[in-house]
Structure 1
Amino acid sequence: MYAFIDSFNHLRFTQRVLIFKNNTLKDPWCSISICLKRIFKLQEGGHLKFNSAELLEGARTPEIITDPLRTYISEARFFKNLVLTDISKLSRGSYLIEVGSGIGLLSLHLASLGFEVTAFEPQSSGFNQMNEMRSLISENWIPPVPKVDFREAILEQESKLEKLADYIFAINVIEHVHDYEDLIAQAIKAKTQNATFRIICPNYSIPYEPHFNIPIVFNKAITKLIFGNKIRNSKIPNSEEFWGDLSWPTQRGLRRLLKMNGWSVEFSHDATCEYLNRALTDFDFIARKGLFFGTLFRMIAQLTKAVRFVPFSLLPIIDCRITNTSQAK
């Protein structure tokens, strides 16, 4: 089908000299550009290959940039397969909306495949570097850069769209939105009646907080009381504000909310199965989870076939498609 490397075949990198004084980075943009170059590996014919095994290895760039950049690229590479299972059924030129686009890599990739894309991304707590990373990727793309309508805002009633979307997706987004019911309502208003709105996010019925890699103890307040130091000392910028913004959605709660609004929804095991398969092959992903949870994920991953029989409410990942909806009230 589509090859993810297509969106990277036209990246270019300028040759410039880095100057360090007392270990202080004087040209961070150039350094990040070099970091990005190390993410890709030249193949025969001059094509660039996405290589997660060499992500930013040895890069002399502040961790505040390299760590999240490594993660965002890895996540875009992973989630593009889940999204392509849906949009491969659409014709080229179809209109897509990404809610919470991060550094924009997935939206750029989809645009390079011939889709029209609008990407919403407000800079909330813990995500302060994304615009810089997105600009860097665009600046280092040999023209023509795929056209994406990037909007530094959340999808809301005031958002002006020229037409309704043929597909909308929100990946790891609603857990960062307090009133995600309103966000879902706005997304439904922004799509055609038969279009799909796909949501993928952690299921907080499972006692594990994936951003801080800590167990959940009863509720948010008690968990913070016990793991407050780990939260405060996290590498996530503005970690306490980031923690405060988390809404902790559950599959049961989301199902109840959708049913209450009369929205047709279908839950799926797909994302959880893909995550478990990832635990067997993506060592960067496992390393980010730490020794305990990384080992636990790899053990559970051996049971991928059995996961298909697990109730949706007990899956670690919420994966649902909202379809055939009338316009939200």
Structure 2
Amino acid sequence: MSLQKSLTIFIEEIPQQHLAEAIAEAADITPQQGLQMLYTYINETRVALRLTESVLKKNKQMLEVGAGLCLFSLFLKQEGYEITALEPGAGGFDAFTIAKQVILDYYQSIPLPVINHTAQELNPDIDGRFDLIFSNNVVEHIPNFKQALSALNHCLSEGGAMIHGCPNYFIPYEPHLQLPVLKIWPGLSERLFRRQIEKRRAVWESLNFISYFDVKSFADENGLEVH
């Protein structure tokens, strides 16, 4: 059976209403908010599979950076892949962290290793080394992405690879908020589209406006190849 088909079955078997209600009760949010959170991260699993499917191998040690609710990592672990999820906690009291724990508790029969600190804090002597490190829509939200990429690089096995799916802000468009933005002058967008940005202020303020050339510069400085 193809991984695409297996993922479809995995998603269909997620008890979304039950989990949404459990998240709502634990995190003091509405069931609809819990359901919306689940929808968002379920959709991310499909994107993550498209990003990584061609390089997934069961003999590889893999790390998903910014694993969210850990659904994609749980799916891969269930399918027999050696995967570790990295998703920093935020003190244990925010709705997202609580939702993640609800998911992990529900799937406790799947022995998924989870790293709860940031990518910048990775240490190969403690966290191990990986043949494949990947992320989807994560790197653009890391404040010091070069520090994070450096830590990830140190955790790569010899001959390992990283795959990071993120916007290229050399192209003047911000896909999360669906707004035009100039990398060198994001303040202009903030003035022109203040009302739209205010609706998702936390997302806007998390963006680092990374570009292909930033990644290429980091790779050149660290002896890495960009494909």
User: Considering the TM-score relative to the shorter chain, is it more than 0.5?
Assistant: yes
TM-score by length of 2: 0.80
Task: Tell me the residue number matched to 2:58.
Answer: 91
**By how many angstroms is 1:130 displaced?**
2.8
1:253-292 pair list within 5 angstroms: 253-266=214-227
Answer yes or no: is 1:121 the counterpart of 2:124. no
CA distance in 1, matches of 2:31, 2:111: 29
CA distance in 2, matches of 1:204, 1:166: 28
Contact in 1 for aligned 2:132/2:162 (Cα 8 Å): yes
Among 188, 191, 216, which residue is 2:156 paired with?
191
Contact in 1 for aligned 2:122/2:152 (Cα 8 Å): no
Question: Compared with structure 1, are the counterparts of its residues 134 and 227 closer, same or farther at alpha carbon in structure 2 (3 Å cutoff)?
Answer: same
Question: Compared with structure 1, are the counterparts of its residues 212 and 30 closer, same or farther at alpha carbon in structure 2 (3 Å cutoff)?
Answer: closer
| 1:127-156 alpha-carbon deviations (Å, 9 max, x no partner) | x53323323333444xx6222122222123
CA distance in 1, matches of 2:225, 2:129: 18
Contact in 2 for aligned 1:165/1:190 (Cα 8 Å): yes
CA distance in 1, matches of 2:48, 2:151: 23
Structure 2: state its 5+ residue gaps. none
Among 199, 207, 224, which residue is 1:246 paired with?
207
Question: Compared with structure 1, are the counterparts of its residues 195 and 224 closer, same or farther at alpha carbon in structure 2 (3 Å cutoff)?
Answer: same
| 154-163 or 207-216, which deviates more | 154-163
Answer yes or no: is 1:155 the counterpart of 2:119. yes
Higher normalized helix content (fraction of residues): 2
Q: Tell which structure's C-alpha radius of gyration is larger.
A: 1
| 1:74-114 alpha-carbon deviations (Å, 9 max, x no partner) | 12122213212111xx234x321111111111111111111
Among 124, 129, 132, which residue is 2:98 paired with?
132
Q: Which amino acid aligns with 2:215?
A: L
Provide the identity percentage. 22
- The ranges of structure 1 where at least 4 consecutive aligned residues each deviate by more than 6 angstroms after the TM superposition are none
Among 31, 39, 44, which residue is 1:61 paired with?
31
Query: How many pairs align?
Result: 214
Contact in 1 for aligned 2:67/2:73 (Cα 8 Å): yes
Task: Tell me the residue number matched to 1:70.
Answer: 39
CA distance in 2, matches of 1:72, 1:12: 14
CA distance in 2, matches of 1:98, 1:72: 14
TM-score by length of 1: 0.57
1:177-256 pair list within 5 angstroms: 177-217=142-182, 219-234=185-200, 239=201, 241-256=202-217
Q: Which amino acid aligns with 2:55?
A: D
